[in-house]
Amino acid sequence: MHSRFSPDSESCPKGIVERVLQLGYGLIAITDHNSNAEAFDWLVTEKVLTPAGVVTAEWAKQRGFAAAKLRVLPGQEISTATGHLLCLIARIRPCIGMDAGEAVEAIHAQGGVAIPAHPFDHRRAAFSEEELDALPFDAIEVVNGGATNYQVNELALELAKRRRLPGVADSDGHSLEQIGRCHSEAAGAGVAELRELLRLQISTFAGMIEPRVVEVFDGG
């Protein structure tokens, strides 16, 4: 999802956190374009999050979520030279125009996670099929809530199966209203680490035409 730290969104990061608390989510990432996790840092400064990314009990209680358990991951969506790349739990700057392979390598050097954004959706800077088959991604975004049509998601699911990689679903929400139209579900409640989340079994997609459930290959 994207916040006002991205040029294509006006959502306040605090509003995003409140929205996902309403939805009952346990783990999110705000992946603003080429931002080096500015939204995450701002939320820590505003004492909405602890430095570890956990929503503070005081802030949650003030908004009526006394028992809230939410973790926000630092992240960004990198505009590499050949496609958009989701970078989680890592910080890379400058990053615009980086070679895609070098960007993935830099993410992995920090212990982060690299996922191609909206693969096959060539209206939005998708990687070539050759790169999608070759780059050492950690997972494939198999359901993107802002996809231009269902086919691009279906092609991404086929890619995840072919490469035996975990599949993830995300809203790609650029407004508060778009958050929740798509999400990933893990086996247990209160998932704390993305590495755990990547052992997904299903993703739920409430699409533009009809709600449906997409089976996701878990890479096992």
pLDDT at 163 over 50: yes
Place of tokens 């009952």: 24
Task: Quote the pTM value.
Answer: 0.85
DSSP state of 18: H
Q: What is the pLDDT of residues 164-218, one digit of tens each?
A: 888 888 888 888 888 888 787 655 433 344 555 554 434 444 433 333 334 444 4
Q: What is the pLDDT of residues 31-68, one digit of tens each?
A: 999 999 999 999 999 999 999 899 999 999 999 998 88
Q: Is 98:90 a contact under the CB 8 Å cutoff?
A: no
Q: Is 133:156 a contact under the CB 8 Å cutoff?
A: no
Residue 184's pLDDT is what? 75
Q: What is the pLDDT of residues 83-128, one digit of tens each?
A: 999 999 899 988 999 999 999 999 999 988 899 999 998 888 889 9
Residue 164's pLDDT is what? 84
